[in-house]
Chains A and B, each alone.
Chain A
Amino acid sequence: MAHVVAPADAAAQFTGGVAEFDIAADTVRRLIAELDRRYPGFGPYLDRRMAVAIDGEIHQDAWTSPLKPDSEVFFIPKIGGG
């Protein structure tokens, strides 16, 4: 079960404020699909706006990144640079 945390404002908009979830998924792609099933529209929003940090490491576009059973997944706004 991956422990997932989304930013408070994204949660406010789609999940009525719930920002932490536990989801059984072995890839980020499937994890996002499950979130979209629970909160319609949340999946595309996460894909468009969010980068993913898995166990402390940021992946900008990481559908294929594998998840360990006890992985900690953070959704964080995509980061631009100057």
Chain B
Amino acid sequence: MSRQHISTVVNGDPVEFLADPGMTMLDALRDELGLTGTKEGCGSGDCGACSVIVDGRLVCSCLMLAAEADGKRVETIEGMAQGSRLHPLQQKFLEHAALQCGFCTPGLLVASKALLDANPDPTETEVRYWLAGNLCRCTGYDKIIKAVLDAAADMRQARV
């Protein structure tokens, strides 16, 4: 099976790589493009550690073929900060100690960004159900939800 030429835009930068047909988007990000911030926790779409945003839509990159990314815009954790200026969600996760081991954190940050892009003023319940696909085993979610709500408030403030 011949490798396929894929051209896509990752975190705003045009990128090209060759992909075996069976390669997932997650494998492409990690092994072809060296972006190891997106993690594999299960490979079956049940843990959310591989969350990325494709054309504005939050998806699991482990359940998407790399070939499907041709011509699409992909946003990963590596694109959330602007240089060394952290995104408000990244800053609040640190301030609230909303991570312990940190393995689920990239997926949760990308998913939370997609949430606030769509719903700038979510309730606690809306945050919890939106993030239900991002498993965390260390924190019990309490501080994560508080960090997202706090960041949302700051971002609404900044917009005023």
A–B contact, 8 Å CB criterion (strictly below): no
Interface residues, chain B, CB within 8 Å of chain A?
A: none
